[in-house]
Amino acid sequence: MDFSIREANLDDCKDIARMIMELAEYVKLAEHVKVTQKDLEQDGFSNNPFFHGIIAEVPEQHKTKEGHTKIGYALYFYAYSSWSGRAIYMEDLYVMPEFRGKGVGKALISKVAQLGLAAGCHQLNFTVLDWNKPSMDFYLSQGCFNITATMGYHCMRCEGEALKHLAQL
Ligand SMILES: CC(C)(COP(=O)(O)OP(=O)(O)OC[C@H]1O[C@@H](n2cnc3c(N)ncnc32)[C@H](O)[C@@H]1OP(=O)(O)O)[C@@H](O)C(=O)NCCC(=O)NCCS
């Protein structure tokens, strides 16, 4: 299938916001999405961006029935491992259902890997929900491994009132 992968820009934020919601619906956690198109514009495309993005796009003739040509995306940012140094963190990876199984997801994760290596990173980190077996299998098929299973890591979080409380100790 004919598609291209390119760096995201300000004009992509509307479609990124749409696909963030589609991904959240797919993982049955849509009620957690608070980020708006405006947040994405500010946080990704101002002087000190908090994230970067890449977009998968198809030519006009392959657009969806709703008229979308932006059919997949990945968001990432740079991180640091005190053990192995520079790292890249992939926050989201998503391909619209009708375009799955055609190599788009692989091209997106490959681009994130390329960008990480070009920036001197030694690791690509991300999370996947335990029940999301198709995606887990996709990642395993691409040479990734499960650090919860092999090293015992669990993802932890502090937010809302607990975060404010923590900040006031
Ligand atoms: C996961 C996802 C990004 C994969 O994208 P995709 O475009 O469907 O995958 P591709 O067509 O690029 O797959 C490429 C490779 O992965 C393999 N693959 C894809 N799905 C697989 C599966 N369920 N099991 C095993 N291998 C799989 C393919 O065989 C292919 O392998 P090869 O070309 O190396 O032989 C996509 O399915 C998706 O958006 N899923 C829903 C959202 C989601 O769960 N995102 C991840 C959240 S953590």
pLDDT of residue 169: 86
Residue whose CA lies nearest to ligand 1 atom number 7: 105
The answer, yes or no, to whether any atom of ligand 1 lies below 6 A from the CB of 68, is no
The structural domain count of the chain equals: 2
Here the tokens at position 108 are 């997106």
Under DSSP, the state recorded for 151 is H
The answer, yes or no, to whether any atom of ligand 1 lies below 6 A from the CB of 111, is no
Sort residue 101 into left (φ over 0), alpha (ψ -120 to 50) or beta.
left
Is there a single domain that holds both residue 81 and residue 155? no
Is there a single domain that holds both residue 90 and residue 161? no
| Predicted structure pTM score | 0.95
Is there a single domain that holds both residue 138 and residue 150? yes
Of 126, 142, 160, which residue constitutes the final position of a domain?
126
The answer, yes or no, to whether any atom of ligand 1 lies below 6 A from the CB of 104, is yes
Distance 115 CA to ligand 1 centre (A): 20
Is there a single domain that holds both residue 169 and residue 117? no
**Cα–Cα distance, 60 to 68 (Å, whole number):** 9
Which contiguous run of DSSP H or E holds residue 105?
helix 104-118
Is there a single domain that holds both residue 141 and residue 80? no
Query: CATH number for the domain including 110?
Result: 3.40.630.30
Q: Say whether pLDDT at 27 is over 90.
A: yes
**Cα–Cα distance, 53 to 92 (Å, whole number):** 9
Is there a single domain that holds both residue 66 and residue 142? no
pLDDT mean over 14-25 = 98
Distance 108 CA to ligand 1 centre (A): 10
Distance 73 CA to ligand 1 centre (A): 13
The answer, yes or no, to whether any atom of ligand 1 lies below 6 A from the CB of 106, is yes
Exposed/middle/buried for residue 128 (C-beta within 10 Å: 0-12, 13-18, 19+)? middle
Q: State the amino acid at position 127 in one-letter form.
A: T
Q: Which atom of ligand 1 is nearest to the CA of 127?
A: 48
Summarised one tens digit per residue, pLDDT across range 39-85 is 999 999 999 999 999 999 999 999 999 999 999 999 999 999 999 99
Is there a single domain that holds both residue 143 and residue 113? no
Tell me which residue range forms the domain holding 141. 129-169
**Cα–Cα distance, 111 to 7 (Å, whole number):** 10
Distance 136 CA to ligand 1 centre (A): 9
Exposed/middle/buried for residue 37 (C-beta within 10 Å: 0-12, 13-18, 19+)? middle
Residue whose CA lies nearest to ligand 1 atom number 33: 103
**Cα–Cα distance, 82 to 30 (Å, whole number):** 33
Q: Known catalytic residues?
A: 139
Summarised one tens digit per residue, pLDDT across range 93-142 is 999 999 999 999 999 999 999 999 999 999 999 999 999 999 999 999 99
Is there a single domain that holds both residue 45 and residue 102? yes
Is there a single domain that holds both residue 8 and residue 38? yes
Instruction: Answer yes or no: are the C-beta atoms of 58 and 3 closer than 8 Å.
Output: yes
Helix 37-44, helix 13-26: angle, nearest 10: 120
